[in-house]
Structure 1
């Protein structure tokens, strides 16, 4: 016969389970618990007479149980009634336990809290929370906090743990009194206690909207920690060593020869940005620069010239892109530019055969390859660079933080393990000002704010899917006058297979609808050689209409393509729609992007489509995208599961962010002890997200 576990052992086991659940929420000790702040509050400080209840009202009532029974029509449920001096209220439970039935014994006085509803037999509450009321049951003097939680971790357990933490944790203020006065900030201990136990007379709207002075203090602290941590990351980077890669003089350098053979001249913005990058590469500390420029602004040639500067100094460069098709576009362009100069460009992705892959890895390790281009295959353990001087990451937000750090870790080579490569990150998704200040303060930012001559503005049209026949007719007309067309199939996030099937079906339907045209198909599952052949045929003008999944989102450059159709445009994010639209308008012909949508549209989908129709300005699109999606997408940390900002809102709290930015500079300059204390309280293991 099994021996029952002792109460002490069972209690320890329960405690361990609760600790595991708390750890899932990032709650490991008192310091974490005091900053686990409520998401909302319930007012249990007052009793509402039953007669005053109206449907939809959340309230707490107190009365004597007058009836309690289990009924079976129309289904099994527990029904009870309670009465106070003013009237009677029904309580109903569709799912219940014997303990609840026992608690609602006739004659017992209870308190019930929930939403009042107008039932068939009068006012009722469904699944209210109930407690037994005694003569000594006092009403709370503060609002009841409701905390973020996880399955199996009740509010009561969290409230008890947080109450204990408030007794044990260090609540001393990390900020000097002078700084608190300068920015009119509430004391830390007062702010935290108020947020956990707000008094009944507190402004409820200020609490809910996170505009109360207690919330403002917490937001300031969080944003200040972010600023201080970025400054610390920047200082740490300036302590690290990188090889100097000065811009070499003379007509025989790779940079000079590349400039002389380019079939176009550089814009003023490109020349300005190149000077900034060249100056950074010549320094003994690793460059950490973000190159941002709208779709088609010419970032790739800037990256090529930066790589040429590294090669002129006897070092290698690497360019990592998020998708194979984008990496391949870069590779083909760079081979066209560098091969005539005798510079070896190596291609490395996961889809290569074992033999070709071994050869590529060997060329990179020996230094035979001056420039390596590829996907995240570049950061695999078996890939070792001979002398990596410059790491370029395209569409940096599409990579996780760990992947970006891994590429940086490939620097130094065999003879200089303590050297870090210079790092150039590129994005066609402009970073909104608030995000630049709070999350990219460690980066030097270069902006290509000028499009090459000959680019034409793209007209965006919104059409319901019901007008598909008109779109097909438009494609036929575009092909007749010698133009080419993209047709992008809908994004199906849940299923790559479903997305592929949609592309195949669309290709078949359009081939039948346009019998005189050559309709091509490209998607992520095509073998590399086949994909390259299709793209080459499209570029050569042999394919009139290219049906594609989102693999053509970035990097594809076909100047003769002047019409783009995006099917089910309501399924795409703003950044993706903007990137896709940038595939047309690269030649002299007037270009059109048709966004085909299916009704009904959600509010967010309507906002996205309206934005695309109203503006082609990448910065304005990025600002609105931040409003709709939050900062995770821009930073490439969505997959980490960590909230980037728990309390501050980068769109509405810009004034607080500016104050924190200013305060960080003051503290950094004069009070390093304050900086250390503040970071110890707030950053707790999240610093790595600011290093990439």
Structure 2
């Protein structure tokens, strides 16, 4: 007879399934599942010393146990401690077995919040344990772990207790790698799961205890190693060597302005990268108005002069158009052929542009995400420039880099961001990138004064706009984000446009939103840029890229609904000329705590780097980083702001460990990141 096939293993149920959902599969997973807080079951508090609102543990004998049904059915247990003090235990939900367990004469050890009521001192739903007079107290603080439905604390504690001795927690790091004063890893974890009663609870709760510091250092080190591995892996790839100075000299000669020192410095950094056979992976960051587009033009000129094509991709059609207008104005006079590819370009015109890109006739291709579609082929793409890179996903950036794959090469990649990256983020999540910073604004920019008003000042703001129009100046009015719905935002913009057109005159007010066709958007922007339209009512499509030097007033309605980075970007649409500029933030109360913090930051500073630092504080790295947040959940324990010294230490150790102890480095990455390490490589 043929052997019977093996019976399938039964699917885990109850607590085991809940543990799987939490990712608690291996002893190391359980060892690193750390307590949220602790309960002190190591001591008893006499009832006469306990105070209202305190969480205490007391012990006594049951003198009465009864079920009452006056207003609702409840179990009432009267407890008397050894000094004769009484305590009422109240259970609104209970089992019949509890009434038997808490019978008169039983000794109970109870823990809960002490309350004062009309009936004297009481605890509602305390944790209870039947004990004898000689039952010992807990030897360590009792951990309370993050859990989920179906996974009781007692089950989880038992599982972690069993896993700790079996978890592979051997020391991986060579002597001298760990900051002085931090304990070995196994010792640190044992301590955090079983802290002694004399440890200051505050050092456990704020994660400042050396045991916590050791875990944070280990985690930060694993992240740094992963980033360095990613960078080293990319250095093994090949990219075209791009050298060229003739077009750069011609571009500089015909620009209508002088470059700032920062623009020259960053332009040279990029040119040096392009001259190497390893792919450039550089992030160009700078505050609003610092002149990133001209640096991109310099990089494109080097690439094109070397006989290769360049592509520039922006997240919105409006921003791509702004780049196109500037780049065409600067590069076409020196003989560069520029093509424009977006989703709105259709039919024969699109086919002609695709043919220009595929043949190499188009030396620079500007567009939206349409540039990375499979149908868009390049003859020899040498440089890809991605603006507002945080709005693009990992897959989209990889698609650009694959455009040369069949030749065994990949293009150089320059990513640009007008949201400056705080130092700790640059040192951690962006450690695999080379970062260039434009830290100098072009001369002639006017300072921007930011004013915060409640919505009841709306009439005064409209009157101010009328004054601006009378003086020949221009203004923006940005409509509120109502919800994650373009339709709702459009309705708000349309209603505001109708109201202001009626108040100020229809010929004075234009409307710009994402639903307009490309040629309609272009027409509205052209009228505003020329000065024909004094006031532009818009949704956040104007957040980046719009450059009208005569605009000196920015009004943002319901500013409390916008993110801090978005508010800073919108404010940057004014202050681009010599006229004094004002940004008015109107809000509706009551404000949330984070809303108040955002408006306060905007009123206090115009420094984009300080804005970014505060934004990171308010939102945390996951939200701040946008689409790069694929790596943002890699830090479970470390806090980038509070643990900057540990991050500095990890950055110093990581290169040495990778060079001198590569096996230990790899084991460290696998222990802490596992498969997540792959997320850092895009």
Under a length normalisation based on structure 1, what TM-score does the superposition of the two structures give? 0.90
Shift of residue 328 of structure 1?
Answer: 2.8
- Say if 2:268 is the partner of 1:278: no
Retained in 1: the 8 A contact 2:181–2:210? no
Retained in 2: the 8 A contact 1:194–1:214? yes
Q: Select which of 665, 668, 671 maps to 1:675.
A: 665
Would the alpha carbon gap of residues 545 and 90 (structure 1) be closer, same or farther in structure 2, given more than 3 Å must change?
Answer: farther
Q: Separation in 1 of the partners of 2:228 and 2:627? A: 20
Match for residue 541 of structure 2?
Answer: 551
- Say if 2:595 is the partner of 1:605: yes
Q: Select which of 231, 240, 264 maps to 2:237.
A: 240
Match for residue 675 of structure 2?
Answer: 685
Would the alpha carbon gap of residues 641 and 185 (structure 1) be closer, same or farther in structure 2, given more than 3 Å must change?
Answer: closer
- Say if 2:38 is the partner of 1:41: yes
Q: Separation in 1 of the partners of 2:350 and 2:72? A: 65
Match for residue 466 of structure 1?
Answer: 456
Q: Separation in 1 of the partners of 2:481 and 2:355? A: 38
Match for residue 131 of structure 2?
Answer: 133
Alignment map for 1:191-270 (pairs within 5 Å):
191-247=188-244, 249-250=245-246, 253=247, 255-270=248-263
Higher alpha-carbon deviation: 346-355 or 442-451: 346-355
Retained in 2: the 8 A contact 1:281–1:422? yes
Give the secondary structure class of the aligned counterpart of 1:686.
helix
Retained in 2: the 8 A contact 1:274–1:306? yes
Retained in 1: the 8 A contact 2:107–2:133? no
Alignment map for 1:51-130 (pairs within 5 Å):
51-68=48-65, 71=68, 74-75=71-72, 77-85=74-82, 86-96=84-94, 103-105=101-103, 107-130=105-128
Shift of residue 364 of structure 1?
Answer: 3.8
Shift of residue 582 of structure 1?
Answer: 0.6
Give the secondary structure class of the aligned counterpart of 1:485.
strand
Q: Select which of 489, 501, 512 maps to 1:499.
A: 489
Shift of residue 383 of structure 1?
Answer: 4.3
Match for residue 594 of structure 1?
Answer: 584
Match for residue 411 of structure 1?
Answer: 403
Give the secondary structure class of the aligned counterpart of 2:428.
helix
Shift of residue 23 of structure 1?
Answer: 4.4
Shift of residue 666 of structure 1?
Answer: 3.2
Q: Separation in 2 of the partners of 1:591 and 1:519? A: 19
Give the secondary structure class of the aligned counterpart of 1:482.
coil
Give the secondary structure class of the aligned counterpart of 2:121.
strand
Give the secondary structure class of the aligned counterpart of 1:289.
strand
Would the alpha carbon gap of residues 129 and 404 (structure 1) be closer, same or farther in structure 2, given more than 3 Å must change?
Answer: farther
Retained in 2: the 8 A contact 1:58–1:113? yes
Shift of residue 209 of structure 1?
Answer: 1.3
Match for residue 581 of structure 1?
Answer: 571
Aligned length: 675
Would the alpha carbon gap of residues 590 and 12 (structure 1) be closer, same or farther in structure 2, given more than 3 Å must change?
Answer: same
Q: Select which of 304, 314, 317 maps to 2:307.
A: 314
Deviations 1:504-548 (A, max 9, x none): 222222223323752122222333332222222211222221111
Would the alpha carbon gap of residues 313 and 493 (structure 1) be closer, same or farther in structure 2, given more than 3 Å must change?
Answer: farther
Q: Separation in 2 of the partners of 1:101 and 1:348? A: 76
Shift of residue 430 of structure 1?
Answer: 1.7
Shift of residue 390 of structure 1?
Answer: 1.3
Retained in 2: the 8 A contact 1:632–1:644? no
Give the secondary structure class of the aligned counterpart of 1:175.
coil
- Say if 2:373 is the partner of 1:376: no
Would the alpha carbon gap of residues 156 and 402 (structure 1) be closer, same or farther in structure 2, given more than 3 Å must change?
Answer: farther
Would the alpha carbon gap of residues 592 and 194 (structure 1) be closer, same or farther in structure 2, given more than 3 Å must change?
Answer: same
Shift of residue 240 of structure 1?
Answer: 1.4
Q: Separation in 2 of the partners of 1:24 and 1:399? A: 30
Retained in 2: the 8 A contact 1:431–1:634? no
Retained in 1: the 8 A contact 2:479–2:492? yes
Q: Separation in 2 of the partners of 1:666 and 1:121? A: 67
Match for residue 190 of structure 1?
Answer: 187
Q: Separation in 2 of the partners of 1:413 and 1:10? A: 44
Would the alpha carbon gap of residues 676 and 383 (structure 1) be closer, same or farther in structure 2, given more than 3 Å must change?
Answer: same
Q: Separation in 1 of the partners of 2:347 and 2:252? A: 36
Gaps of 5+ in 2: 1-6
Q: Select which of 390, 393, 401 maps to 2:386.
A: 393
CA RMSD of aligned residues (A): 2.8
Q: Separation in 1 of the partners of 2:155 and 2:486? A: 42
Retained in 2: the 8 A contact 1:385–1:413? no
Deviations 1:85-123 (A, max 9, x none): 343333334455556566555554443332222233222
Deviations 1:117-171 (A, max 9, x none): 2233222223333344356754321112222233443333332332222122111
Shift of residue 456 of structure 1?
Answer: 0.9
Would the alpha carbon gap of residues 74 and 536 (structure 1) be closer, same or farther in structure 2, given more than 3 Å must change?
Answer: farther
Retained in 1: the 8 A contact 2:390–2:628? no
Give the secondary structure class of the aligned counterpart of 2:674.
coil
Would the alpha carbon gap of residues 672 and 261 (structure 1) be closer, same or farther in structure 2, given more than 3 Å must change?
Answer: same
Would the alpha carbon gap of residues 77 and 245 (structure 1) be closer, same or farther in structure 2, given more than 3 Å must change?
Answer: farther
Under a length normalisation based on structure 2, what TM-score does the superposition of the two structures give? 0.91
Deviations 1:331-384 (A, max 9, x none): 333334344455443434445557766665555444444333333333445544
